[in-house]
Amino acid sequence: MNFFKTKNKQSIKFKWEDIQKRTAEQTIQTKPQEEIKEPLELSLTDNLQKIKELFGNSDDIIMREIRIGKEGRIKACIIFTDGLIDSQSAQNFIMESLMIDWRTTEVESESVSRLNLLQYLKDMVLTVGDIQDINDFTNLLDSLLNGKVILLFEGYSQGFAVEMKGGKERSVEEPTTETTIRGPREGFTENIRVNTSLLRRKIRDHNLWIESRKIGKVSKTNVSIMYINGIANDKIVEEVRKRLDRIKIDSILETGYIEELIQDAKWSPFPTMYHSERPDAIAADLLEGRIAILVDGTPFVITIPVIFAQFLQSPEDYYNRADITTLLRFLRYVGFFIALLAPSFYIAITTFHQEMLPTQLLITLAAQREGVPFPAFIEALAMEVSFEILREAGLRMPKAIGQAVSIVGTLVIGSAAVEAGFVSAAMVIVVAITAISSFIVSNYELAISIRMLRFPFMAIAASFGLFGIIVGLIALILHMCSLRSFGIPYMAPFGPFIKDDQKDAIFRMPRWAMFSRPRLISQTNITREDTPAPKPDSK
């Protein structure tokens, strides 16, 4: 018997070693080759043929061969990607300058020597702002795919890349996911350069620095780090650089790719990075010392580091009076706990702690549950899952019918379930209050975290009652206190308790009292003003 066991173990070991060996061989064979910077050829025909081969004769790569100079003696070619450039600007500032203006100029093309022809074109002929030299195919392809116009000339192993980005893009509109009653109505777009300009308009300071890099071997997505030099913590900025530079992936299509690859707590239900499509919210974070990460192709911008209290705040909090804002924040915190614990408390009290209810209410609930065949946990679980399905259906369906279907579905299912005796009317009320409270939380990611945690709390409430809920809350708080966002404690300023930062946590003090930035986030320039503003007279 031992012989067969030993033989089976050796067989499994050999098979596993064979699998590892084959996997290593496939990895070596499929490892992408490094890009070789092949220089341009002197022959224009050879260069154009090489470009056609690299793009597989794609019909959106436009090649327009022209002749320039006094008598058209110089052969050239204009290359661009259809849909990525402004065709009208290319016509007016490149083709017209080369084919018409240069031929009618007083300077003879023969007087321009062969050595300084390209410099002459750059200085005297082309009426465009951004011109870069192109010497190899790697830079040529990168420029061509980034919305630039390429100019190549016969007899020259050098060309130009002219900035002419254009094409159809979504205009600046009001954000749909972060609506406010008072405040700016503009939101980010999918163009990273438009997004940086929106932030530049709000922070007109030369210390607002931008560092760009390309991430993604195939997509080559433009990713930018934005921060205010002198306010942002240099150690956090350096850590962001290191984490971004460690990313080795084929493509980056949205900020969610970046978030998953560089976040701290990868298995925590709580978000440790904040994202928004409102320029005013990102500008406020930059002014507090945070760092923004912008990705080309998405209207959502990431800011780091973050704290838990930030997810229960809204940009509108800083446009209203302090007393109104404080009241709204209290409502958000109350809504957070109701959305997290309301079904759990109902299950625990009706299952284990009936003595906590008034006699009349207990009799009413008992009469309602008399014909219900399921325990409270199964009853709550069925209603919560049904509501989550309806909520997702309402989000994914067309806008014209999505809300109607979700509302009608909720009413029909709720009333039919009560009449059929599957659930009690009190359970429908609890689930409805829970759902409404979850919408009070202003941040969508935190709302999803609440939805994820609600089900484990329901399970421990059904197993251990209020004792299980208290133990679960203690474990949850310990987990939240252990989280870090780029080295910053997640529960600051509550844990560790920072007295000076309580002015903008649950309470929001008047503007004249908020003269300092969060201490743990901005450690180089804490004071917002040179001297604290005097308290206004009460008269």
Q: Tell me the percentage of the chain whose pLDDT exceeds 70.
A: 86
Give tens-digit pLDDT for 290-348: 999 999 999 999 999 999 999 999 988 999 999 999 999 999 999 999 999 999 999 99
Q: Which domain holds residue 390?
A: 322-489
pLDDT at 13: 46
Mean pLDDT (whole number) for 121-141: 84
Note whether 128 and 157 are within 8 A (CB): no
Which residue(s) pair with 133 in the sheet?
160
| Residues 150, 197 within the same domain | no
Which region among 56-70, 219-233, 388-402 has the lowest average model confidence (pLDDT)?
A: 388-402
* Residue 312 vs residue 25, higher pLDDT: 312
* Residue 366 vs residue 252, higher pLDDT: 252
Note whether 200 and 175 are within 8 A (CB): no
Which region among 172-176, 368-372, 455-459, 498-502 has the lowest average model confidence (pLDDT)?
A: 368-372
Tell whether 468 is covered by a domain: yes
Residue type, 467: F
Tell whether 412 is covered by a domain: yes
Average pLDDT, the chain: 83
Instruction: Residue count of the chain, please give it.
Output: 539
> How would residue 68 be classed by pLDDT, with cut points 50, 70 and 90?
confident
Tell whether 178 is covered by a domain: no
Q: How far apart are CA 247 and CA 255, in angstroms?
A: 13
| Residues 337, 302 within the same domain | no
pLDDT at 534: 57
> How would residue 100 be classed by pLDDT, with cut points 50, 70 and 90?
confident
pLDDT at 60: 86
> How would residue 180 be classed by pLDDT, with cut points 50, 70 and 90?
confident
| Residues 103, 205 within the same domain | no
Note whether 259 and 270 are within 8 A (CB): no
Give tens-digit pLDDT for 439-467: 888 888 999 999 999 999 999 999 999 99
Asked if the model's pLDDT at residue 223 lies above 90, the reply is yes
**Among 489, 514, 531, residue at a domain's last position:** 489
pLDDT at 113: 55
Give tens-digit pLDDT for 72-99: 778 889 999 888 888 887 887 788 777 7
**Among 489, 511, 532, residue at a domain's last position:** 489
> How would residue 7 be classed by pLDDT, with cut points 50, 70 and 90?
very low
| Residues 344, 269 within the same domain | no
Q: Tell me the percentage of the chain whose pLDDT exceeds 90.
A: 40
| Residues 57, 204 within the same domain | no
Mean pLDDT (whole number) for 33-42: 70
> How would residue 6 be classed by pLDDT, with cut points 50, 70 and 90?
very low
> How would residue 529 be classed by pLDDT, with cut points 50, 70 and 90?
low
**Among 117, 145, 163, residue at a domain's last position:** 163
Q: Which residues contact 158 (CB under 8 A, 6 or more apart)?
A: 40, 118, 133, 134, 135
Q: How far apart are CA 329 and CA 311, in angstroms?
A: 11
Tokens of 522: 């901005």
Asked if the model's pLDDT at residue 35 lies above 60, the reply is no
| Residues 483, 423 within the same domain | yes
Residue type, 359: T
Domain count, the chain: 3
* Residue 113 vs residue 513, higher pLDDT: 513
Mean pLDDT (whole number) for 32-36: 46
Q: Find which of 122-126, 205-209, 389-393, 532-536 is predicted with most confidence, using mean pLDDT.
A: 205-209
Q: Which residues contact 48 (CB under 8 A, 6 or more apart)?
A: 63, 65, 77, 79, 152
| Residues 59, 113 within the same domain | yes
Note whether 235 and 520 are within 8 A (CB): no
| Residues 158, 230 within the same domain | no
The answer to whether the bond into 305 is cis (omega within 30° of 0) is yes
pLDDT at 416: 77
Tell whether 419 is covered by a domain: yes
Tell whether 429 is covered by a domain: yes
| Residues 149, 97 within the same domain | yes
Tell whether 535 is covered by a domain: no
CA 539 to mean position of chain CA atoms = 47
| Residues 344, 280 within the same domain | no
Q: How far apart are CA 299 and CA 411, in angstroms?
A: 35
Give tens-digit pLDDT for 352-386: 988 888 888 888 888 888 878 888 999 899 888 88
Task: Say which DSSP state 486 is in.
Answer: T
Q: Which residues contact 347 (CB under 8 A, 6 or more apart)?
A: 376, 377, 380, 458, 461, 462
| Residues 138, 208 within the same domain | no
| Residues 333, 480 within the same domain | yes
Q: How far apart are CA 518 and CA 306, in angstroms?
A: 11
pLDDT at 356: 87
296 class by beta-carbon count within 10 Å (0-12 exposed, 13-18 middle, 19+ buried) = buried
> How would residue 31 be classed by pLDDT, with cut points 50, 70 and 90?
very low
* Residue 266 vs residue 286, higher pLDDT: 286
Give tens-digit pLDDT for 188-204: 999 998 999 999 999 99
pLDDT at 370: 81
Distance set, CA 377 to CA 343, 391, 494 (Å): 9, 21, 33
Reference 317, options 302, 332, 301; nearest CA is: 332
Tell whether 15 is covered by a domain: no
Tokens of 529: 């003003």
